[in-house]
């Protein structure tokens, strides 16, 4: 999954419609619902290409810098099975996936039923860190339908659900260039505008992406061997949607409607 969107040629200036509210404060806004866009207007996003890098660099507002730093702090946390908070999150994930079923422990064959590769889920968190568990738990609590398939195509675990979730976290971190000091793609810069208005934007985008991946999987009649192909198709579609000119918040993404299905 190395193909990144948004690379470009020489220096240029791009004009996109963004919220004027992003320039107001120096802190990201914590919201429990949709991103709130308080003002609209045309703003110039100046893009400069550095001699040492093939990709442009985007300047950030102080609010965007602060929100990005908070998200990067989450990304930097590795999963540690000895930390009570991490244990509780894993237990909560089990309770969301299999409500009412007896929990046999943090290490048991039981976890394979959720799509982990072995009996110890912590081994699968190495690629995504603790944030990948947080993402899965957020998804399970807010959109549990994929965790409880009952009819038709939904009756089978067509792909390893939990491992797919960890891969989605990793893919989004790479696609949005979230480990860089500043975004170097239009996709990453666009996402930071959403993040500055809603600090749950990454978790919400994760849910959208998971639903999109599931939709792609069913549409392609994919098998386990097609997983990488489905992930690449999901990423391409998500990048296209994020770059549409009329996208001013995550709720405007065409794939957002999948959350209500």
Over the stretch 28-73, which tens digit does the pLDDT of each residue have?
Answer: 654 433 322 222 222 223 334 444 445 566 788 898 899 999 999 9
pLDDT tens for 220-251 read 888 888 889 999 999 999 999 999 988 999 99
Whole-number mean pLDDT of the chain?
Answer: 77
Helix (H), strand (E) at residue 17 = strand 12-18
Estimate to the nearest angstrom the gap between the alpha carbon of 76 and the chain centroid.
Answer: 15
Q: What is the pLDDT of residue 148?
A: 60
Residue 172: pLDDT over 90:
yes
pLDDT of residue 188: 93
Averaged over 20-27, what is the pLDDT?
38
Position 130 confidence tier, pLDDT thresholds 50, 70, 90: very high
Torsion sign across C-alpha atoms 57, 59, 64, 70: positive
pLDDT at 55: 54
User: Nearest 10 degrees: CA dihedral of 26, 32, 33, 35?
Assistant: 10
Are the CB atoms for 166 and 125 separated by under 8 Å? yes
E strand intervals along 33-155: 41-49, 56-58
Which pLDDT belongs to residue 94? 86
Percent of the chain topping pLDDT 90: 40
pLDDT of the residue at 112: 82
Say what the pLDDT of residue 57 is: 65
Between 175 and 109, whose confidence is greater?
175
pLDDT for residue 80 is more than 80? yes
């Amino acid at each position: 999954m190395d193909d990144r969107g948004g690379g470009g040629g020489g220096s240029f200036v791009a004009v996109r419609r963004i919220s004027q509210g992003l320039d107001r404060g120096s802190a990201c806004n914590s919201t429990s619902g949709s991103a709130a866009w308080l003002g609209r207007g045309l703003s110039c996003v100046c893009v400069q290409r550095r001699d040492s890098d093939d990709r442009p660099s985007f300047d950030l507002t102080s609010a965007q810098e602060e929100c990005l730093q908070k998200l990067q702090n989450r990304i930097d946390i590795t999963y540690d099975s000895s930390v009570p908070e991490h244990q509780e999150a894993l237990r909560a994930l089990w309770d969301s996936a299999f409500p009412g079923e007896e929990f046999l422990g943090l290490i048991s064959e039981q976890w394979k039923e959720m799509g982990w590769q072995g009996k110890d889920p912590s081994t699968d968190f190495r690629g995504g860190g603790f944030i990948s568990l947080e993402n899965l738990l957020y998804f399970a609590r807010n959109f549990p339908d994929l965790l409880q398939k009952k009819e038709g195509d939904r009756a089978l675990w067509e792909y390893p659900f939990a491992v797919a979730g960890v891969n989605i976290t990793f893919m989004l971190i790479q696609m949005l260039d979230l480990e860089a000091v500043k975004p170097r793609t239009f996709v990453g810069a666009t996402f930071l505008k959403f993040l500055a208005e809603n600090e749950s934007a990454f978790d919400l985008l994760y849910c959208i992406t998971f639903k999109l991946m599931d939709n792609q999987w069913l549409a392609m009649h994919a098998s386990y061997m097609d997983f990488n192909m489905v992930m690449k198709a999901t990423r391409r579609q998500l990048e296209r949607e994020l770059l549409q000119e009329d996208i001013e918040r995550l709720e405007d993404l065409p794939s957002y409607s999948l959350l209500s299905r």
